[in-house]
Amino acid sequence: MGREASDLSTLVADELAATAPASAQVLAEAIRQHHRGSVAAVVFYGSCLRKRTDSGVLDFYAIVDSYASAYGSRRLAWLNAWLPPNVFYLEVESPAGTLRSKYAVISRADFAAGAEPGARRTGIWARFCQPTTAVWVRDDDTRRWLERAVARAVVTSVQVGLPLLPDTGPTLRFGFGDLWQNTLRETYSAEMRAESGETIRSLYEAAPERFDGAARGALDTLAAEGFLAWRETAGEVCAEIEPRARTRSVRAWRRRKPLRKALYLVALLKSATTFGDWLGYVLWKLERHSGRRIEVSERQRRHPLVWGWPVLWRVLRERTLR
C-alpha cells in the first residue's frame, strides 16, 4: 500500500472514530433497540454532522447482519432486500427537546456492494465519500470492515467522477475542488436532487483540506490498480486515463443514469410505506424549508397512504423528502 493510500485509510479511520454528539448517541441507541441484535454499526452523516447541530433531522445508516434478523416483519425484510435501503423516521424525547432522525437500514453485503462503481444506485459511495462518524460499532472486526468499505466509497467517487470532468485532451487537468463539485453535481442529478451550485460548493469548502487529502489517497489507489497515472504540480492535478477506459466509464454512467433516477423514484415511493409518520415529517420539513404551514384534513392524518398522496406529490415535485 502506497503512502497516500495509507493516508486515506488513516483519514477514514480517524473520521469514523470521532466522538459523536450526545444527540447522535441517543438516537443511535434507539435505532439499535428497534432492530434487536442485528445491528453491526450505526453511522452518522449529512448536514447535521457537518454543521454540528441537532436542530434538524439527523441522518444515519444502520448496517445490519441480514434483513431477516433486523425485522419481525417479512414484508419489511423483503422490501429491504428487493431495493435497499429501507428508510425510517424516528423521534426521541430528550431533556434538550425532541430529537429527530431519518435512518436507512442496509445489510453489510449491500453496503459493500453499494460502495463499488457498478452499484445500481449512487447512494452509498456518494454519501460516504463525505465525512462520516461511526456512532456505534459492534466490535473491532466490524470496525475494520467498515473502514475498508468507506475507503472504497471514496475511491469509487473519484473513479466515477474523474472521467466525467470536462474534456481537456489526453491529460485531464483540474483542481480538487473542480473534481469534487462536479462529482457531487452528477450524483445529485442521478438522485433527482436539485441542489444549487452554491450548496454543492459549500460541501467542498466546508473541509477543502479533508477532501483534497481524500482525493490524493483515492488517486494513489487507482494508480496502483492500473486505472490511471497522476501527478500534482503547483496546485494543478494531471491525470492520464487510457482513452478507451475513459470512454467506457462515461458511457456506463450515462447508460445507467436513467435507471438510477427511476430507482430513486421507486425508492422514494417505497419510503412512504416504511417511513412511519411520513406525513407529519413531510409537513414539518415543508414548513421548515418554505416557511409555509400546510393544513391537512383529519382524514389525511389518519390514513396518509390513502389520502395523503397530494402532499407526497408536492414533496416529489419540490424534492423535500431526502
Under the banding of pLDDT at 50, 70 and 90, the label for residue 1 is very low
Confidence of residue 267 (pLDDT cuts 50, 70, 90): confident
Q: Evaluate whether 64 touches 70 at the Cβ level (below 8 Å).
A: yes
Residue 265: predicted pLDDT: 78
Which pLDDT does position 314 carry in this prediction?
60
**Do residues 152 and 225 touch, judged by C-beta distance below 8 A?**
no
What's the rounded mean pLDDT across residues 26-31? 96
* Rounded distance between C-alpha atoms, residue 164 and residue 246, angstroms: 9
How would CATH label the architecture of 3-274? Answer: 2-Layer Sandwich (3.30)
Supply the mean pLDDT for the chain: 86
- Find the helix packing angle between 243-274 and 309-318, rounded to 10°: 150
Instruction: Report the greatest alpha carbon distance in the chain.
Output: 64
User: Phi, psi (5° rounding) for residue 243?
Assistant: -50, -40
Residues 219-263 pLDDT 10s: 999 999 999 999 999 889 999 999 999 999 999 999 988 888 888
Neighbours of 274 (CB within 10 A): 18
pLDDT digits (tens, 9 = 90+) for 63-104: 999 999 999 899 999 999 999 999 998 999 988 889 999 999
What ranges do the domains of the chain cover?
3-274, 278-318
Geometric angle at alpha carbon 291, from 287 and 295, rounded to 5°: 50
Q: What are the grid coordinates assigned to 122, written together?
A: 449512487
Q: In terms of pLDDT, which residue wins out, 209 or 169? A: 209
Given a cut of 50, whether residue 321 has pLDDT beyond it is no
Spatial strand order of the sheet with 236-240 comes to 171-174, 236-240, 229-233
pLDDT classification of 309: cutoffs 50, 70, 90: low
pTM: 0.85
Of residues 222 and 300, more confidently modeled: 222
**Closest by Cα among 108, 88, 110, 120 to 264:** 120
Q: Pick from 132-136, 296-300, 309-313, 318-322 the range whose average pLDDT is largest.
A: 132-136
Q: Report how far residue 316's alpha carbon sits from residue 313's, in angstroms, rounded to the nearest whole number.
A: 5
Q: Which residues contact 239 (CB under 8 A, 6 or more apart)?
A: 162, 171, 172, 174, 219, 228, 229, 230
Q: List the one residue out of 253, 42, 8, 31 whose CA is nearest residue 150.
A: 8
State the pLDDT confidence band at 295, using cuts at 50, 70 and 90: low
